[in-house]
Structure formats: structure tokens, C-alpha cells
Amino acid sequence: MQFFDNPKPSDWDKILMRPTASLRSLEPQVQAIFEEVQTKGDQALIDYTQQFDQVSLTSVEISQERLTELAQKIDPELATAIDQAAKNIEIFHAAQKTSKVSVETQTGVHCWQEKRPIEKVGLYIPGGTAPLFSTLLMLAIPAKIAGCSKIVLCTPPKEDGTIPTEVAYIALKQGVDQVFSLGGVQAIGALTFGTETVPQVDKIFGPGNQYVTVAKQLATQYKVAIDMPAGPSEVLVMADRSADPSFVAADLLSQAEHGIDSQVILVSTDQEFIEATQQQLELQLLDLPRKSIAEKALANSKAIYFDSDEAAIACINAYGPEHYILAVANEDLYLDQLAHAGSVFIGNYTPESAGDYASGTNHTLPTNGYVRQYSGVHLDSFLKAITFQKISAQGLQDLGPVIEKMAAAEGLEAHKNAVSIRLQKLNAQA
């Protein structure tokens, strides 16, 4: 890890820069794939799957029969673990349901808000070096609770053209309507435009690499919404001498093994703790199956020492971590002053892995500093709020003059007349 001793605020942006390519530089490639998918449909999907995944397909859709066959091959103990995680995720997201908001803003003016599900949603589950079947739990469960009428899944194919048994098991159990062995930009393009086989959706969910992130952002130009710009994963651990260096090192490595472009940051007010954690990193790294990936991610990692809590808090807020692990004696100080984070893990016994899999919170979170504007996926991500109003005759007579004056001041005479003509009729009936 690169070590920094009390860096100045003017240097924080450079130190904390994410190890990602310029998204603008990827746009031409993504746009070209989108155009091919839009014009050639399924054939473009098959061609790109051959080109990028080296998998030959005649169809990208996984039938319900094939899905069932794959799901039945899952390890029973893993299925039990998945079911327990699913239960916790369902409990947490079901608790996010809200009642209709109804109020009379003034006599005779009744306003209310109700939520309706987004009809068609597309779920993207990354494959690559570590297929994230847990992400399907995080997306399919709230989509089902919200009542989305069409849930479509895209995930990169295995060498035999199928999908992981765990993904098939979850898709079947959580009621996913259609499943496609389809990944990358071409999958986002298919969900954006629709093809002969893949339905067009209203909103796309799920993380991915930098190309997928650009593709999702491009999809918004074609009237398709997205959950957030979710790119390479990141973690920031704030720890002091009350933390356990072996725990913190394990947390840092759990993020580093995601991919070579993952970012790992340790902030501490204790230099000896940083040194002890670095020693633990070296020891634990030796036994990791994904050692080479973690090593490359750690090459971009930072260890930052501050001699005051105030400076540490300011730096953390300047960064805005996707995952924020807090292992300090004075938790309240850091939590009270927290401004930006995707998901927070508090205390020595709350590893990020808990939120990644089974505690119940959602692990689909904004990265690259987008925590300043976006929330992680939650139940309302699959809903839209619709407002309603009903005004009585008396209510319009009381409120009408206010509307008339404001519309006239803006020079919108037709707006004013929509009220005036009603008031004239009411006055004539009086």
C-alpha cells in the first residue's frame, strides 16, 4: 500500500483518484455496439458473445426447462445458505414499504401520493472472474416485493453457453420471468432497444465493469432509466488502535480480490496500526486463491495517516466511499459527521462481507464518488411515486385567485383561464 502522512486537503483529490479509465474514451466502442444491437438484433448478440466471450450460441435465451435442470444441480448446503440470505434480504426490503401519503393542504384541496411498480425491469448480473450470483438476490427480491410485472435477467454465459447453477437456482426461486446468457455492452444494448428475443425494459439494474457502466449511462439517452453508475468496487476502512489489524486486513483483501481495478483505502489515526495492518495484508495475501488479482488491486491502494479525527473525517467525506467500514472507539463522532457513503459497516464484528451476502442490506451501491448524488438500490428503486389531487368547488373558489395571479404573472393566460372559466360558472350558479 502507498503510505501518506497527514496529506494536505489540496492533495486529497490526487491521492484518492479512482483507478478507472476515462469513461469518455470508452463511449465510441459502446456506441458502435449499441448501433449493431439496434439494427441487427439477436444476430448481433450472438456475434458479440462469440467475439468477447468466445462462446458459440444459437440462442441467448435460457428456457424454463433448462433453467430448472441447472437449478437442480446446486449444492444443497449452498442452497440453504442462499435461502437464509434471501430471507434476511426480503425482511429488510419488505420493511421499506410505505403507506399512501394523504393530506388536505387547505379546505377542499386534497392531495395524495401513491407508489406504483416500474413495469419492466432488466437485471444485469456480472460474470467474469467471479460470477456474482448474490447480486441477483439483491435485485430480484426487491423487484418482486415492488410488484414489477416483468423481470428480465442477463448474465454472461459460461463456456458451455449456460449460466451458473446458483444464478439459475435464484432466478427460478425468485420468479424471474426470462433469463438470457448474455453479458457486457451487448446485454445492456439488448435491454435498451429490445430484440427478437430480449424484451425492452423500462429500467436497468446491476453493477458491471467500466464498459457496462458506460453502456448503462448511454441507455439513459434512449428513454431507459438506470439504478446508478455502478462501476469497479471500492472500500474505505477507518480504524484506530481499538480495531484488530487482522480483521481490517481481511476486509481490505475481500475488496481487493474483486478485480484489479478495485480500490482499497485505509485511513487511521494510529501509525503503528497501519504498520500492523500492512504486515497482516502480506501474511493473508499468501493464502488467497485470487492472490494475483488482489496484488494488482493493492498496488493502487492507499494507507493514509492523520493526526486528528477531524482531518480524517474531512478526508473520508471528500472521498465518498461505496463501502465504509468504521472500526474506531468513538463511533458516534464519525457517524454524526458522515456526509457521503453507500453502505456503512460499524464495529469490529461487522465485515463488509455481511452486507455483500446475507445481513439484509443491499450491496448494489454507487461508486466513483456518486454517493454524493445516488443511494444504493432499495425498494423504492423499483417503484415510482405518483401524485394525485382532487379539489372541491369550494376549494377551487378559495385557491383559484392564487392560481390566477401566479399564472398571469408568468404570462400564461391559458393557465389562468383554466381556473377563471370554472370560477365564472361557479359564481353564476351561486
**Could you give the residue numbers annotated as active site?**
322-323
The Cα 163–Cα 48 span in angstroms is 17
In which residue are the cell numbers 435491454 written?
191
The Cα 130–Cα 156 span in angstroms is 11
Non-local CB neighbours of 163 within 8 Å, separated by 6+ positions:
62, 70, 155, 157, 179, 181
Q: Is 158 exposed, middle or buried (0-12, 13-18, 19+ CB in 10 A)?
A: middle
Q: What letter would DSSP give residue 397?
A: H
Task: Determine which helix (DSSP H) or strand (DSSP E) holds 135, and give its type and residue range.
Answer: helix 133-146
Non-local CB neighbours of 405 within 8 Å, separated by 6+ positions:
none
Helices of type H across 286-412? 291-299, 309-319, 331-336, 352-357, 393-409
For residue 50, count other CB atoms closer than 10 A to its CB.
Answer: 12
In which residue are the cell numbers 458502435 written?
32
